[in-house]
Amino acid sequence: MNLPAVLAIYRFEMARFWRTALQSIVAPVIATSLYFVVFGAAIGSRVQTVDGIAYGAFIVPGLIMLSLLTQSVSNAAFGIYFPRFAGTIYELLSAPISPFEVVLGYVGAAATKSIFIGLVILATAAMFVPLHIEHPVWMVAFLLLTALTFSLFGFVIGLWADGFEKLQLVPLLVVTPLTFLGGSFYSIEMLPPFWHGVSLLNPVVYLVSGFRWAFFGKGDVSVGISVGVTFLFLALCLGLVTWIFRTGYRLKS
């Protein structure tokens, strides 16, 4: 294991994160505060409770998940896309470093950043609503697992994209809509039967449900299924990354 190389990539990526701290941290905090103003105060005052949970508190896991997913995907995608765009990828390809170590460095940094932002949002939320986390260990486990899985997914997008437009395509047109429609701001139990069934095809439903269960002990689907689906997606992303490095897709000619 070339640990210094993994650390070099990790530190390099984290340095970029701190260099753009305003954009990286302040922007999600402001966005979260706005969500609380709109959904928590304006709409929440009329909805009152969902599944016996105050609406303001109910949306917290969904809000964290929304940021966690988009930040994981964007950070990892940009992290590996930029060296490809700038041409500095030659250094990675000619260094004595295995594909696994490259992934560990980039995905580890992207996951760290998104977890940090997730925790910042959690702290911001705690200022708006009283929060009690029923299963803190599971909450951390879901946070880690989701950040890791979607950072891997972002890494795949960063390798696939051949322009900045494509880099934004999946986070904006796939991840964000799936998160909004994945029960972030509502329980899918509230939907008519047909749309409830359709929602179960959305993988984000399982992530939000599992995460919400960690907070309140209640979710739309069982926690076992949530963990299983998350692991399934993780395995899929791992398989894709392995294939990319084996074939050199978009990396080597």
Contact positions vs other proteins (CB under 8 A): 2-5, 7-9, 11-12, 15-16, 19, 86-88, 90-98, 248, 252-253
* Residue (of 176, 80, 175, 73) closest to 117 by Cα position: 73
Taking the least distance from each CB to other proteins, the nearer of 134 and 162 is: 162
Amino acid sitting at position 81: Y
Taking the least distance from each CB to other proteins, the nearer of 180 and 245 is: 245
| Cβ atoms 224, 209 nearer than 8 A | no
**Residues, the chain:** 253
Please give the Cα distance from 112 to 95 (Å, whole number): 24
- Could you tell me the smallest distance in angstroms from the CB atom of residue 159 to other proteins? 16
Taking the least distance from each CB to other proteins, the nearer of 9 and 175 is: 9
Taking the least distance from each CB to other proteins, the nearer of 76 and 92 is: 92
- Could you tell me the smallest distance in angstroms from the CB atom of residue 22 to other proteins? 15
Tokens for 96?
């004595």
- Could you tell me the smallest distance in angstroms from the CB atom of residue 204 to other proteins? 33
Q: What is the distance, to the nearest Å, from the Cα of residue 70 to the centroid of all Cα atoms in its chain?
A: 5
Please give the Cα distance from 59 to 50 (Å, whole number): 10
Cβ within 8 Å of residue 54, ≥6 positions away: 44, 48, 129
- Could you tell me the smallest distance in angstroms from the CB atom of residue 219 to other proteins? 42
Taking the least distance from each CB to other proteins, the nearer of 88 and 222 is: 88
| Cβ atoms 5, 104 nearer than 8 A | no
- Could you tell me the smallest distance in angstroms from the CB atom of residue 4 to other proteins? 5
